Chains A and B, each alone.
Chain A
Amino acid sequence: MMDFAHWLPIVWAIILIAAISIYVVLDGFDLGIGMLFMTERDETRRNVMISTIAPVWDGNETWMVLGGAVLYGVFPGAYATLLPAFYLPIVLMLVALIFRGVAFEFRVVTKGTSRARHWDFGFMTGSAVAAFCQGAILGGVIQGVKVTDGAFSGGSLDWLTPFTILCGLSVMCGYALLGATWLVWRTTGGLEESCRHAASRLAVGLFVGIVAVSFWTPLLHAPYLRRWTEWPNIAFVAPVPVLVVVLGLLLAASLRKGHSRVPFLCALGWFFLCLSGLGITVWPYAVPPTLSLWDVSSPPSSQFFQLVGTAIMLPIILAYTIYSYHVFRGKVSDADGYH
């Protein structure tokens, strides 16, 4: 039983990180496309951009609901500490996602009126604010939360620091890159070209962000620094920064050479490496720097019961998610027929 209580939270931490990663990349390109709306004024192109994600955004956002629910059921101590700690950015993010989500339908049914432009504005701003808040919350978790007797005891603006602002801007940049490379893959003609240009600039921005966050993070808490600099850890973690550079070069080359799918996969790779890096940094803390995974876990009976359901459902969910993407595969073009 002791072993069970030790291993279950580890298994769940991995599932949770996977769910967050899936959310980040899937809704990442949705939110990225929302931000790219700012640079694209042409109505037809905007419609094409939105139609590449309209059939799937709902499912993408569901991963975020799963993240919240898993945290609630499996790590209630973390859920109960982190959510009050990030109360304001979470409320702001939820409101931003409301505007983003309803704009999909509202902008179309109000087409041709001045209201349509308001919903376009809501779509852009909602996407940008949600992206910033997600980055800031992630940064805030790394930065740490003040806890007394297992409950949040800090101030309501503790999360707002230069470090979290940097994280917020980096995530905005990263999501925009995901969105741009997704459109490179899924569209043609002038839209594809302009996204290719945008992607190269965003890639530079994100790279700068990654480097800055990577050097800043170990300075926040001593254990973080030790994780990345002490032998033998360093042998295991060294490949992460190396791979970041390799993928960056591959991304730049593939954008130049006109590949359609590789840039998106490289951007995904970057996100995967960054999230792994964060996981390595804060492990095994659920609420750095005080509460570990085991401090915040629900009892093994809860975790086990939920694990059974997850083991059955997750493969099924992945299967029909892939099916749904498969139905709407291929290039969406603005070249002919629509005008």
Chain B
Amino acid sequence: MQNAHDIAFLLARFQFAFTVGVHIIFPAFSIGLAAYLAVLEGIWLATGRQVFLDLYRYWIKAFSIVFGMGVVSGLVMAYEFGTNWSVFSKKAGPITGVLLSYEVMTAFFLEAGFLGVMLFGMNKVGRGLHFAATCCVSVGTLISMTWILASNSWMQTPRGYRIDPSSGQFLPDDWLAIIFNPSFPFRLVHMGLAAFLSVAFAVGATGAWHLLKARRQGKMSTEPVRVMFSMAMWMATIVAPIQIMAGDAHGLNTLKYQPAKLAAMEGDWNSEGRAPELLFGIPNMTTERTDYAVGIPLLGSLILTHSLDGKVPGMKDFPRDQRPPSPIIFFSFRIMVGLGVLMMLVGLWSLWHRRNSTLFLSPLFHRVALCMAPAGFLALLCGWVTTEVGRQPWTVYGLLRTTKSVSPIVLSSMVVSMTVFVVVYVIVFGSGLGILVRMLGRAPEEGERNADPSHASDLLATHMHPAVVDASTTKGA
């Protein structure tokens, strides 16, 4: 029976990781894309250049698909805390539940409330109001990110709480300390930049695809394609280096507040000065060593302490039952960093092409940009795996163990729900991805069709005559 319980526990974890991992892609996409749309509409209003309106109308179709998938996969999360982690939610609810409620009230409603106007309202409200709606949606996505990261960061570096001795509940003492906990500012900046960078590379790859297609067909690339590609490459050039610096700062913050996580990320076992930076290795949790290690001498100390003989932590500093699983985060961390460096190189390469006026003429560069389409999202997922798996074996760092957080769900229910989630997510989000790829495979046209993704606004626009509106108001008693 104990065994069945253990399997149910593992399934609860895997299910949560799977659903949140799928979910996180969409909000990140929405955060970046909403900001991009606000910029496009703003430039269009300021300059009156048709190309920006065309791009707005092109990308808003993708936005409506992405946003819809974010809403439905996010709804699952709001209930999964309780279904899978009932003990955690009972104990931490007075803090994390309140932060989630603030997110719903200050962000979700703002996004959902103005999304309708943004998608369907181009012909129904004035230009200024429509732009305001786009900005509200964009600001909503940013507010949403702020609250959920405050909550997540509190679980990583809890502050401002008291533990009730009888119930074991976390009681809020100081809300400012809870929200502005030590890892929050770093995580917020790192995640925000990751969302922008992910979307920059998705937009850049779309532009690259159409540049390649035009070339293959022997045609001139169109202005919207060139503008989108150029804007995306500027973002890559500027944001990727900033992101690497932000990541470095976040790493130093982890070293200070979660040294066990950092040691596991680096695959270091013994705390030492003049530590190497491992490029490869297979950390072995049983033998307490990292096999096949290949490293650069001194670099570990240099990166982590910014000095050659700085002391870095090792996993042996911590009891065995308080070490996160190093083999997972050793690799997820390295994939993330590798992708980050690649993104920066693409940004620099684009700068070189720009100087030579070959930005729209180099098929090799366009092919590379196309291959980089998922780079931002992959890096973001690897980053999340690093920070969340690195938090183990705790849900609330150092205070509440994951094994003590789980719901009393029987194995059979867990198996059923896990199967259902995997099948449904593969069908729904697989289809969504397919739809998105087909949609972006069509080039933006000059004078792009109306912004709405459906017939809804055609119908609304053509059929909602003022006369009919009047008739309905007098007709209804």
Contacts and interface: CB of A to CB of B under 8 A. Distances in A.
A261 B432 CA distance: 37
Interface of A: 47-48, 50-51, 54-56, 58-59, 61-62, 64-66, 68-74, 76-77, 79-84, 87-88, 90-92, 94-95, 97-99, 101-102, 104-106, 108-110, 115, 150-153, 155-156, 185, 188, 254, 259-262, 298-299, 301-302, 305-306, 309-310, 313-314, 317, 320-321, 323-324, 327-338
Contacts of A88: 413, 416-417
Contact of A324 (B106, B117, B407, B409): B117
B117 A55 contact: yes
Contact of A87 (B83, B96, B454): B83
Interface in B90-118: 90-106, 108-117
A109 B439 contact: yes
Contacts of A108: 453-456
A58 B413 CA distance: 30
A260 B476 contact: yes
B77 to A, nearest CB: 9
B455 A72 contact: no
A323 B67 CA distance: 21
Nearest to A302: B94
Interface stretch (B29-37, B168-176, B287-295, B330-338): B168-176
B108 A261 contact: no
Interface of B: 61, 64-65, 67-69, 71-76, 78-79, 81-83, 86-87, 89-106, 108-117, 119-121, 124-125, 164, 169, 171-173, 175, 407-410, 412-413, 416-417, 420-421, 424, 428, 431-432, 435, 439, 453-460, 462-464, 468-469, 471-472, 475-477
A48 B114 contact: no
Given A153-B408, A262-B477, A306 B98 contact: yes
Nearest to A48: B459
B105 A84 contact: no
Contacts of B421: 91, 95
Nearest to A107: B454
Given A51-B457, A72-B97, A84-B408, 11 more contacts: A47-B459, A50-B456, A51-B460, A62-B108, A72-B82, A83-B79, A156-B409, A302-B98, A306-B98, A317-B105, A327-B125
B117 A327 contact: yes
A64 B75 contact: yes
A105 B119 CA distance: 11
Contacts of A87: 83, 407, 409, 413, 417
A329 to B, nearest CB: 7
Given A58-B115, A333-B468, A72 B83 contact: no
A249 to B, nearest CB: 15
A6 B83 CA distance: 28
Contact of B75 (A94, A155, A337): A94
A262 B472 CA distance: 12
Nearest to A92: B420
19 contacts: A47-B455, A48-B459, A51-B454, A65-B104, A70-B101, A72-B93, A83-B83, A84-B409, A87-B83, A87-B413, A97-B72, A105-B435, A150-B90, A299-B169, A299-B171, A310-B105, A320-B114, A337-B463, A338-B459
A329 B172 contact: no
Contact of B68 (A66, A101, A155, A338): A101
B194 to A, nearest CB: 24
Given A62-B109, A83-B86, A328-B460, A69 B472 contact: no
B116 A65 contact: no
Residue from the set B65, B104, B169 with the largest chain A CB neighbour count within 10 Å: B104
B79 to A, nearest CB: 5
A89 to B, nearest CB: 11
B86 A259 contact: no
Nearest to B407: A84
A70 B115 CA distance: 23
Contacts of B417: 87-88, 91
A85 to B, nearest CB: 9
Contacts of B171: 299, 301-302
Nearest to A323: B113
Contact of A72 (B76, B101, B169): B101
A97 B71 CA distance: 10
Contact of B476 (A48, A68, A76, A259): A259
A59 to B, nearest CB: 4
Given A73-B100, A106-B432, A109-B65, A259 B477 contact: yes
A213 to B, nearest CB: 25
Contacts of B106: 309, 313
B132 to A, nearest CB: 11
A56 B459 contact: no
Contacts of B67: 58
Given A332-B459, A338-B462, A105 B64 contact: yes
B125 A314 contact: no
Given A80-B90, A82-B82, A105 B68 contact: yes
A92 B421 CA distance: 9
A103 to B, nearest CB: 9
A110 B428 CA distance: 13
A186 B48 CA distance: 36
B7 to A, nearest CB: 15
Contact of A105 (B65, B104, B116): B65
Given A59-B112, A70-B101, A321-B109, A76 B89 contact: yes
Name the residue in B93, B102, B108, B454 with the highest tally of chain A Cβ atoms < 10 Å from its Cβ: B93
| Most B C-beta atoms less than 10 A away, residue of A108, A254, A310 | A108
Contact of B100 (A64, A72, A101): A72
B121 A327 contact: yes
Contacts of B111: 58
A335 B468 CA distance: 12
Contacts of B104: 62, 65-66, 69
Nearest to A86: B83
A131 B174 CA distance: 41
Nearest to B109: A317
A101 B71 contact: yes
A59 B114 CA distance: 9
A66 B464 contact: no
A64 B78 CA distance: 9
Contacts of A259: 475-477
Contacts of B79: 68, 83, 90, 94
Contacts of B455: 47, 51, 108
A151 B453 contact: no
A99 B69 CA distance: 10
B394 to A, nearest CB: 18
A111 B127 CA distance: 30
Contacts of A56: 116
Contacts of A301: 94, 171-173
A333 B65 CA distance: 26
Nearest to B105: A313
B165 to A, nearest CB: 13
